[in-house]
Structure 1
Amino acid sequence: MATNNFHLTNIRFIKRIVVGNDNPQSMKTETEVQQAMDLVNLCLASTPRGYVLNVEKSFGLYNIGEHQVVLQYAVYNIGFDRKPMFLDEHGQG
């Protein structure tokens, strides 16, 4: 039986990851969105294991020229007992 249960009081590091387009002036490519989602999955599957603390979902309706554009994104707040080394290796500190 595992003894390392999740306790909110043990969280010492929180990583905020934006998945999607949150800025109409700087649109992200599909590859960049997929890389952000891969980072979320890495945080939840690697050691130390991260825990989803919160997911912020948002959208915006923008007029760019004569076009209306809807941008959607989700922000994952992932908590860790300590800062993972793989974030430093990927330049995501």
Structure 2
Amino acid sequence: MNPNNFHLANIRFIKRIVVGNDNPQSMRTEKEVQESMDMVNRCLCSTPRGYILNVEKSFGLYNVGEHQIVLQYAVYNIGFDRKPAFLDDHAQG
């Protein structure tokens, strides 16, 4: 088997990363959203290389007090053949 080929059967670990605001009670800052996107990019470029399995896109319309707000977010499900070490480092830091 060529190690450069992607096979769904080889996926042993899935990382779920939310990019955007999904909770009106706990709004993420622009910096936090950018950090999430940086993590998606790192998962796709580092070793072991991750593969996007699914992207969930969603939005919500919420009433907060007298204001109406719209929240948009995407959830990236990235699959790996083994859990990357950098994810353990990210969880601790």
Q: How far did 1:66 drift? A: 0.9
Distance 2:46 2:26 in 1: 30
Q: Quote the Cα distance in structure 2 between the aligned partners of 1:91 and 1:70.
A: 29
TM score, norm. by length of structure 2 = 0.95
The equivalent of 1:31 in structure 2 is 31
Deviation at 1:78, TM superposition (A): 0.1
Alpha-carbon deviation of 1:80? 0.1
Q: Which runs of 5+ in 2 are unaligned?
A: none
- Match for residue 49 of structure 1? 49
Instruction: Report the CA distance between 1:9 and its aligned residue.
Output: 0.2
- Point out 4+ residue stretches in structure 1 off by more than 6 angstroms: none
TM-score, length of structure 1 as denominator length: 0.95
What residue number does 1:74 align with?
Answer: 74
Q: Indicate the RMSD between aligned Cα atoms, in angstroms.
A: 1.3
* Percent of aligned positions that are identical: 82
Summarize deviations over 1:34-62 as a string: whole Å, max 9, x none: 00000000000000000000000000000
Matched pairs, number = 91
Structure 1 unaligned spans of 5+? none
